[in-house]
Amino acid sequence: MTKKPTTLKQKLTYKYRMVILNEDTFEERFSFKLSRLNVYVFGGIFAIILIALTSLLIAFTPLREYVPGYSSTALKKKATDLTYQLDSLENVYQINDTKLSAMISVLRGDENVVDYQIRVDSIIKSNQENSTQNLYASRADSVFRRDIDNQDKFNVNTSQASEISTMLFAPVTGTITNKFNSEENHFAIDIAVKKNTPIKAITDATVIFSEWSVDTGFVIILDHGSNLLSVYKHNSQLFKKQGELVKLGEVIALAGSAGTLSTATHLHFELWYNGYPIDPTNFMDFE
């Protein structure tokens, strides 16, 4: 008679025989010996393998999306796309806000809204970095201007516009009676011309304002893109409406002396870049 194990070690190492029999004939088919220690070891190894395989399955397959705490790939992609869209919308908002502020300042005639000191070279550098439109005349442009000046004071036409689409041309030619002077808060130039002289677009643009003002008569404002606005005041008549597209050299108004702030026939011309007024004479010839 076999003695029963009494100590823990004996209980763990005590062998048990497992036999598999045929139910009908009781024929032995398979048998093996096991101890409790074998069962615990094999069971522990099996559990570790099962946990490892389950962890790998969850970590590297789409099943992880169903586990709390894990974010889905689609959700991450959507969040990334929304981040880029938000960044783009913020840039568009800043640009539109700058344009709107500049236009409001122009319409109010409040030229004291900015206390600034602008260098023309910094404006040109900024424009070259952020826009394909070049506001500064190149050497070829200067030669072209000189050739035109030798003729009867140029008049821009359609063929010229297609060749020099990156240049800015004066809306009229005449005598500058009041220059751009930031110290005196005169952020424009006044050009004396004959009544009903055609006023032309300085380059391709969209009309963003075309209305009558008591102080400045008929006013038209053009948006040339790249944060560049041009303003034409004291006109006697306007030919373009808000929302219309205009080409370089296209007639947009007729010069006059409309408005309570005007004392003689002239064009009050303003040029705004990035929400700041700049001196138009740095970019075009008027006489």
Task: Please check whether residues 139 and 36 belong to one and the same domain.
Answer: no
pTM value?
0.48
Residue 246: per-residue pLDDT: 95
Task: Determine the structural domain holding residue 45 and report its residue range.
Answer: 8-66
Mean pLDDT lowest for which of 69-78, 91-100, 223-232? 69-78
Q: Considering its fold, how many domains does the chain have in total?
A: 2
CB neighbourhood size of 58 (10 A): 15
Task: Please check whether residues 176 and 269 belong to one and the same domain.
Answer: yes
Task: Please check whether residues 95 and 60 belong to one and the same domain.
Answer: no
For residue 238, pLDDT over 60 is answered with: yes
DSSP 8-state symbol, 63: G
Which tokens sit at 136?
Answer: 């500064």
Residue 265, CA atoms < 13 Å, CB-side half-sphere: 14
Residue 213: per-residue pLDDT: 87
Task: Please check whether residues 100 and 208 belong to one and the same domain.
Answer: yes
DSSP 8-state symbol, 181: B
Which domain-ending residue is among 25, 50, 66? Answer: 66
pLDDT tens for each residue of 147-157: 555 544 333 33
Residue 3 falls inside a structural domain: no
Task: Please check whether residues 59 and 97 belong to one and the same domain.
Answer: no
Residue 262: per-residue pLDDT: 85
Instruction: Give the span between the Cα atoms of 229 and 102, in whole angstroms.
Output: 8
pLDDT tens for each residue of 76-132: 778 888 888 888 888 888 777 777 777 776 666 554 444 434 444 444 455 455 444
